[in-house]
Amino acid sequence: MKNSLTLILGASLNKNRYAYLAAKKLSEKGIKALGIGLKEGKVYQVPIVKNWEDIKNVNTITIYLSAKNQKPYYKKIIASKANKVIFNPGAENKELEDLLDQVKIRYERACTLVLLSTNQF
């Protein structure tokens, strides 16, 4: 597969956050992932960085940010040419969905944890 990276937008080192649980589950399933978050670190095998620079081969972007906090990432999400964007509960964003429609990037409103647990990821 040309694009092989899952990007966790809104990644967290806090064990009580769903983004943390998603990173853990992706790692357990052997899915290559990278987190973009406020603090750098690592969740199992998933590195978390603060800046989205020169990240290539993005297959899926799973979003754990509110709509207003997604705005600074619009251009990078579109430029990534990801195969799919997942809006987790609380991250729904009609404005970004409309932009993704324009560039023909597929998206869904779903829970990454449920998709992983049911082998639909």
Q: Report the pLDDT value the prediction gives residue 53, as an integer from 0 to 100.
A: 83
| pLDDT tens digits, 63-88 | 999 999 999 999 999 999 999 999 99
Confidence of residue 3 (pLDDT cuts 50, 70, 90): low
* Count of structural domains, the chain: 1
Report CA torsion sign: 119, 69, 73, 46.
negative
pTM: 0.94
> Domain residues for 85?
5-117
pLDDT for residue 88: 98
CATH number of 36's domain: 3.40.50.720
Share the mean pLDDT of the chain.
94
> From CA 64, how far away is CA 98, in angstroms rounded?
18
**How far apart, in Å, do the first and last CA atoms of the chain sit?**
15
- The pLDDT, as a whole number, for residue 2 is 47
Q: Is 37 exposed, middle or buried (0-12, 13-18, 19+ CB in 10 A)?
A: buried
